[in-house]
């Protein structure tokens, strides 16, 4: 019986990996746009102070990174909004964070416990193509710590 369960898990792992991978980024043309939203309390206090991030109950961070090649972040203009289930919205104000070879964009937002949020994001890579923009959305249920 254990052998059957192990074989079933091994066969399902590539499918689980593909589903997990689809949640981590969106592919648009040559660009991979990585995204996540999480509680601000997950950030180390020293890093929060260094980057002017307010940590606390009901405070979240959305993180966007744009990459054309896997090792280098692409400078971009990121805008967006977050909506709760009642369609109350907050405008996301993204700030670029550059650390050695990494480049990503963070924006704070507020949420209630067990808020089901929809993030609507627009990415414009700063590559000289002014008409190029990619809109996408993702959803996340947020919990207080």
CATH number at residue 46: 2.60.40.3340
Looking at the structure of the chain, the number of domains it has is: 1
Task: Indicate whether 2 belongs to any domain.
Answer: no
Task: Indicate whether 6 belongs to any domain.
Answer: no
Task: Indicate whether 138 belongs to any domain.
Answer: yes
Tens-place pLDDT, residues 23-76 = 589 988 888 999 999 999 998 899 889 888 999 999 999 999 999 877 678 899
Task: Indicate whether 31 belongs to any domain.
Answer: yes
Whether the Cβ atoms of residue 92 and residue 82 lie closer than 8 Å to each other: yes
pLDDT at 10: 39
Task: Indicate whether 100 belongs to any domain.
Answer: yes
Q: What is the pTM of this model?
A: 0.79
Range of the domain at 64: 25-142
Task: Indicate whether 136 belongs to any domain.
Answer: yes
Task: Indicate whether 3 belongs to any domain.
Answer: no
Half-sphere exposure for 119 (CA within 13 Å, toward CB): 27
Alpha carbon of residue 79 to chain centroid: 13
Q: What percentage of the chain reaches a pLDDT higher than 70?
A: 80
């Amino acid at each position: 019986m254990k052998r059957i369960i192990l074989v079933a898990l091994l066969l399902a792992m590539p499918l689980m990996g593909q589903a997990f991978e689809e949640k981590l980024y969106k592919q648009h043309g040559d660009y991979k746009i990585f995204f996540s939203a999480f509680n601000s309390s997950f950030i180390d206090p020293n890093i929060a102070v260094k980057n002017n991030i307010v940590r606390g109950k009901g405070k979240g961070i959305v993180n966007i990174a744009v990459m054309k090649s896997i090792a280098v972040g692409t400078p971009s203009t990121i805008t967006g909004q977050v909506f709760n289930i009642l369609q109350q919205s907050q405008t996301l104000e993204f700030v670029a964070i550059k650390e050695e070879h990494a480049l990503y964009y963070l924006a704070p937002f507020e949420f209630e416990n067990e808020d089901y949020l929809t993030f609507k994001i627009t990415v414009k890579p700063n590559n000289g193509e002014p008409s190029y923009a990619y809109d996408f959305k993702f959803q996340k249920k947020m919990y207080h710590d």
